[in-house]
Amino acid sequence: MKFTIAQGSRQGPRPYNQDRLAYSYHRHAIFMVLADGMGGHQHGDVAAEIAVKTMIEAFQRESQPLITQPAQFLREQIAQAHDVIENVRLQKRLLESPRTTIVVALIQHNKLFCAHVGDSRLYLYRNGLVEHQTEDHSVVQSLLREGKITVDDIDHHPHRNKIYNCVGGERAPKVELAAPIALREGDVIMLCSDGVWNTVSDIGMAQHMLAADINDGVSRLLDDADAASITVGDNMSAIALQWGQRVTSPLTISTLDLPVDVTTTMMNETTAPPSQYALDLTDDEIEKAIAEIQEALGRTRQHVK
């Protein structure tokens, strides 16, 4: 596999950044995940961080060397992230569960597998056009699908920011899986939060993803989103991967050059929230919550056998 990958995040006009994103890869597979903590509920940043860490750890643990059942893996691990968030809520005695959206992409055997919950999106660009795009789990998207509103109504609809499906909360998430997509030379995969696609036009996003240097493309995309969100807006985050053997950037990664047992992971750094917004939750506590869910699942599997 040969690819170039870049990620970035901006706080925008919000008090702090609730987006979390990361990617991980080894010789045989690549994994990307982006989560947007829901600002309408407390501690969305915690939900997003738990979701990203749960997914990255699952990839590192189970892709030995490949994920044998990608669709099942994505569905089960997103559901597990939901359970870990609920576990943290109980440990911290929170009045409500933190919530987040999530979008994930797994690449192996030159195929793209993706899943999402909420309105963080994945785009697959091919020859400058959108080959595939996830569909938001939002009120306005549901109304549009039912023919009750038009595309022109969305920007001014009173419920344009409401979603009905998330990770965390009273109900388990309904994970939407896309059919596997065979990748072609020059394809670009981009994951982004709604702070990006809400502020940058479809044409603008596509143009940035056509950049010869995908790092420059991501940076300029976030610049545009940031400029459009000076007073009213959201956090904005994106991960983009340019696929192909002919990629020639100095930052191009060829997994054939990697040792068999080495996995590289990049977690995007974010500024810690001000103390009045913060939840006293350490990395060790997150790891403990993940481990407890893993142990419970292990006991369940043994009981079933």
Q: In this structure, how many other beta carbons lie within 10 angstroms of the beta carbon of residue 215?
A: 18
pLDDT of residue 276: 62
pLDDT of residue 101: 98
Across 250-268, average pLDDT: 80
Statement: residue 95 has pLDDT above 90: no
pLDDT band at 55 (very low <50, low <70, confident <90, very high): very high
pLDDT of residue 249: 67
Residue bearing the bigger pLDDT, 164 or 284: 164
Name the 3-class secondary structure at 245. Answer: coil
Across 21-50, average pLDDT: 93
Compute the distance between CA of residue 20 and CA of residue 48 in angstroms, rounded to an integer.
6
pLDDT of residue 301: 61
pLDDT of residue 286: 86
CATH of segment(s) 2-304: 3.60.40.10
Rounded to the nearest 10°, the torsion over CA 280, 21, 220, 159 is -80
Statement: residue 256 has pLDDT above 70: no
Across 11-26, average pLDDT: 94
What share of the chain has pLDDT > 70, as a percent? 92
Statement: residue 258 has pLDDT above 80: no
- 8 Å CB contact between 189 and 240: yes
Across 54-69, average pLDDT: 94
- 8 Å CB contact between 125 and 187: yes
Alpha helices in 125-250 (DSSP H): 139-145, 151-154, 194-197, 202-209, 214-227
Statement: residue 192 has pLDDT above 80: yes
Statement: residue 91 has pLDDT above 70: yes
pLDDT band at 243 (very low <50, low <70, confident <90, very high): very high
What residue spans define the domains of the chain? 2-304
Residue bearing the bigger pLDDT, 220 or 252: 220
pLDDT of residue 288: 86
Residue bearing the bigger pLDDT, 276 or 218: 218
Residue bearing the bigger pLDDT, 283 or 164: 164
What share of the chain has pLDDT > 90, as a percent? 63
pLDDT of residue 303: 58
Least confident of 107-116, 189-198, 252-261: 252-261
- 8 Å CB contact between 20 and 263: no
* Residue-averaged pLDDT of the chain: 90
Residue bearing the bigger pLDDT, 260 or 293: 293
**DSSP code at position 138:** B
Statement: residue 178 has pLDDT above 60: yes
Across 196-208, average pLDDT: 96
Q: Which residues contact 112 (CB under 8 A, 6 or more apart)?
A: 105, 106, 124, 180, 181, 182, 183, 189
Across 135-164, average pLDDT: 86
